[in-house]
Amino acid sequence: MRRLALLAAPVLMLLTGCATHVPPPTVEATFEMLPPRDEWKVQNRSQTERPFREVWYGLLAGLVKGPFILENASIDSGVIVASFAFASGEDYVDCGRSRRTYVRDGAEAEFDYAISSDSAYESGYNYDGCTTIRQIARDTTLEGRVDIRVIREGEGTVVAIDAEYKLTAAASGSYEILCPDRTLSGLVDTHTRSVELSTTESTEADWGVPGRPLPALCRCTGRLERDILAFVE
């Protein structure tokens, strides 16, 4: 009986040692960027039969109720300058979409989001017997200024708008490295990217990380310009 116990001890130790070496999961990630829409039609000029002063004060009344800060308003020159800031830029700037897939041990997840919007995704890769998993959150903000020109034309009035936008995206998160004999974890360095564009000019921006550029064309959707013109409809 004692000999059987002695023989069983090494086997038990071997099994116990193997139990601590859990194979890491198998992961696969794909990534695709889709361009912005081609059919955006930006209307930044409007003509009305309403008199100049009525249009002027209608614009001011609308701007102070919205997400704008009046910087300058000169009725003599017919120029209004205002700044704005939004928590997300999706409604006002189109930089295309990001489409990601993430497979972990056969279970697949998809992440499809506008580049100019807040978003989150999970990604990972296998390397040298270990698996790295990253969970990333993207926070976007949009700020800028708008120049509005109010012009007398005959008995009516023309309103012309030119906006300048700055879209910023900050990506941060955490990582986990799973190896058969150990697990490491930590925070991912925050990467911030910005792009500047205007009502009439699109801009190409790099939304990648150092060493992995991801160029994307950004253009305005015309939403801001339409909202301002609606103040005097």
Three-state DSSP at 91 gives coil
Does residue 72 sit within a domain?
yes
The pLDDT of residue 146 is above 90: yes
Q: Is residue 226 part of a domain?
A: yes
| pLDDT, position 79 | 98
4 lies in some domain: no
Taking all residues of the chain, what is their mean pLDDT, rounded to a whole number? 88
Establish if 1 belongs to a structural domain.
Answer: no
Give a yes or no: residue 169 inside a domain.
Answer: yes
Contact 46, 39 (CB under 8 A): no
Contact present, 52 and 152 (Cβ < 8 Å): yes
Q: What is the pLDDT of residue 179?
A: 95
Domain tally for the chain? Answer: 1
Structural domain includes residue 12: no
Looking at 158-162, 208-212, 213-217, which range is the least confident one?
A: 208-212
Please tell me the pTM assigned to this model. Answer: 0.83
- Residue 133 in domain: yes
Query: Over the stretch 8-44, which tens digit does the pLDDT of each residue have?
Result: 334 333 333 444 567 889 999 988 888 898 778 899 9
In which residue are the tokens 């700044």 written? Answer: 83
Per-residue pLDDT tens over the stretch 59-99? 999 999 888 999 999 999 999 999 999 998 999 999 999 99
Which one-letter DSSP state was computed for residue 11? H
Q: Is the pLDDT of residue 5 over 60?
A: no
Q: Which of 148, 97, 108 is nearest to 28 (CA)?
A: 108
Residue 9 is assigned to a structural domain of this protein: no
What number is the average pLDDT over the span 103-115?
93
Q: Is the dihedral of CA 107, 113, 118, 123 positive or negative?
A: positive
What is the percentage of the chain residues whose pLDDT exceeds 70?
Answer: 89
Host domain of residue 129: 23-232
